[in-house]
Structure 1
């Protein structure tokens, strides 16, 4: 008799889905790049700058397609990032002090050193404002590369890289909020704070309805956009109001007991469906929102973002100091900063390496952390308004991300041996 396969852990399912997300991002980015350099390039850039207007009463928004994607859809991406950060801080990998310390130390080094190297190369020049571009890691790409290596790398390395990328994302959000906001409208900022307070109160009261957060999230996004802060920050703000605690299981006990009673096959089937529904509702609002958003972000938000932003026309454009600064930060600053920060944390005794993870693995993870794609392209749009400067930044990001993926994979293949005991990790 054949038994069904054992259910995979949530982390393994996460790695698999992120791996596919990385592949989808690569294909979409390639398609956008080819389109922007084809005879139909004018169609691409015309669509990118086509304006779409929405109005509700006296409120109106008129944004280009590029801005709707970068300010609107990406707010949903940042909402998912915020949910993941909160989950990891409370019950995940960052809830353990030693593991959190390792990730924070590595992420700090992996953000400060790339930014410093970039600034040294561009200080006083037109590209000085782009120091935030090489600071973040694209988790989908990085985990996608690790998944291709199979059992050559231990699960602990994937856990570390995930935690590192999450801390990186949190750092990127702070950088955007503090350094890439030009002016603030205090009236709309106050309305945003009031809306966030209502969402926080709803979370403290344990409001389980996703409709509540959807309405409050749209209002919060609008007020943050009008305040002058980048609208995507609203996603992270909303995420931190969503409760992670589970409902009292006693309220489901009677229903679960009734659903488990024997009966006719069709009755049992109906009861099992009821049981599945009850188990789903017994999850915390944060888990339910995260599970609901993940497919949408994976299959829609990120591919659309890549399609709109990775189309860089190289006609008449070339590499410059901005491109070289981005590449220096991602390809050299990232591995040195990540490994250096982790080494200091381990050396001082406040952290330790994950099980089966060696320093050779950590160097590979540091190189893969140089895959900046999504967040680096996003910060590029904030740092540069001039098309020529933005093109330089995007070329640097794309080239560095491709090289980091190839070099990181090559390093881990050469320095790692196949681990029979980790096959079940995949």
Structure 2
């Protein structure tokens, strides 16, 4: 399978970004549990105007992350893996399974408790971390497996975005929502009129974000809406969609996501009370990500192929799908993001973050071990032939 230039660039950036995210996470946890713990954690909650630094990161900078996700999804839909329905149905099915089964597992653990609102937490896959782990296996990884994981994670993120928009929005202010959607409509008209200058779309995007922020719908949704308003044209290098996506890769991968990790993993660890360390929602998160994700991805992929809705690429097999499914259990960025929306108690938020990190590291390590053995076996078979 031939990989496009932009896909290869995306994969390489996400690979390095995953390693950067891991370093930032470990550094943040270390600082939060050091002698400067109070100063470090207080910094992220200090105010700039009426907003805390953490709020600016989560509602402002992360909108740019969602813009990049939207541009990547748009490219996949127009000319990528999702442009052909038969090819698209495999990662779509996998993503659906990877959202539904973890959600059911979380629901089974937390039904009837105060923590049921976190049902979206184990439904997400972190693209940067997952691709970062996959890249450690080097050139033994088939391109189709990279494409499958990338498409799966992008669709997964779309699912998480829809969940945020539908279930984690506050009380809706109709006036501001209509104003935001009105700006979006104007941008769509500009698209149809073939306005191929980027600046008007960015100005419109800022206005749309401001109205969305005040509407009660989470402001980061603006990023995805803006991505689909920007003309894709034919997707070539001269198009503004391509140029913006190309320009955003490095700032998002090496600035925005690392800052998000630093701000949101400043977790003070306390092991004095095992009951408070492992409440019911902790098991729901761990089992949802580590067990539910690979199970859902495999089952729904298998059913999709079995009933001939899609087909398995010739250089893939079910053991490789299982391996990638385990990597799908790396939730991190989107899981932490949903945690911030699902809970209000800071101790619950910090504990949930800790278990997301624990589950993500477990899934990453297991996925690496499983795929390393699977791809090693393939090399041996080839040599014997």
TM-score grouping bracket, smaller chain normalisation: over 0.9
Q: Please point out which of 202, 207, 221 is paired with 2:190.
A: 202
Give the Cα–Cα distance (whole angstroms) in 2 for the partners of residues 338 and 64 of structure 1: 38
Unmatched runs of 5 consecutive residues or more in structure 1: 1-6, 54-61, 248-278, 421-426
The structural deviation recorded for 1:202 is 1.5
Give the Cα–Cα distance (whole angstroms) in 1 for the partners of residues 153 and 201 of structure 2: 26
- For the 8 Å contact 1:118–1:326, the answer to whether it is kept is yes
Match of 2:218 in 1: 230
- For the 8 Å contact 2:176–2:211, the answer to whether it is kept is yes
Give the Cα–Cα distance (whole angstroms) in 2 for the partners of residues 119 and 85 of structure 1: 29
Match of 1:37 in 2: 33
Return closer, same or farther for 1:90/1:37 CA change in 2, 3 Å cut-off.
Answer: same
The structural deviation recorded for 1:314 is 1.2
Moved more, 152-161 or 206-215: 206-215
Mapped pair 1:374 → 2:333: yes
Give the Cα–Cα distance (whole angstroms) in 1 for the partners of residues 69 and 5 of structure 2: 20
The structural deviation recorded for 1:97 is 1.1
Mapped pair 1:107 → 2:107: no
Mapped pair 1:26 → 2:22: yes
Task: Give the structure-1-normalised TM-score.
Answer: 0.85
Render the CA deviation track for 1:162-217: whole Å, top value 9, x for unaligned. 01001101100110011011210011111101111111112222222221122111
Matches within 5 A, 1:279-290: 283-290=238-245
Unmatched runs of 5 consecutive residues or more in structure 2: 380-385
Give the Cα–Cα distance (whole angstroms) in 2 for the partners of residues 246 and 121 of structure 1: 47
Match of 1:123 in 2: 111
Give the Cα–Cα distance (whole angstroms) in 1 for the partners of residues 293 and 4 of structure 2: 32
Matches within 5 A, 1:350-365: 350-365=309-324
Match of 1:145 in 2: 133
Q: Please point out which of 85, 92, 102 is paired with 1:97.
A: 85
Matches within 5 A, 1:408-419: 408-417=367-376
Match of 1:59 in 2: none
Render the CA deviation track for 1:282-334: whole Å, top value 9, x for unaligned. x2221111111111111111010000001111136612111111001000000
Matches within 5 A, 1:178-189: 178-189=166-177
Q: Please point out which of 276, 293, 298 is paired with 1:334.
A: 293
Task: Name which one, 1 or 2, has greater alpha-carbon Rg.
Answer: 1
Q: Please point out which of 210, 215, 239 is paired with 2:203.
A: 215
SS of structure 2 residue aligned to 1:208: coil
The structural deviation recorded for 1:8 is 8.1
Match of 2:349 in 1: 390
- For the 8 Å contact 1:52–1:63, the answer to whether it is kept is yes
- For the 8 Å contact 2:290–2:326, the answer to whether it is kept is yes
- For the 8 Å contact 1:153–1:419, the answer to whether it is kept is no
Moved more, 203-212 or 104-113: 203-212
Give the Cα–Cα distance (whole angstroms) in 1 for the partners of residues 301 and 327 of structure 2: 15
Give the Cα–Cα distance (whole angstroms) in 1 for the partners of residues 118 and 129 of structure 2: 22
Give the Cα–Cα distance (whole angstroms) in 1 for the partners of residues 111 and 347 of structure 2: 18
Give the Cα–Cα distance (whole angstroms) in 2 for the partners of residues 86 and 151 of structure 1: 27
Matches within 5 A, 1:1-12: 9-12=5-8
Match of 2:144 in 1: 156
Give the Cα–Cα distance (whole angstroms) in 2 for the partners of residues 355 and 158 of structure 1: 14
Task: Give the structure-2-normalised TM-score.
Answer: 0.94
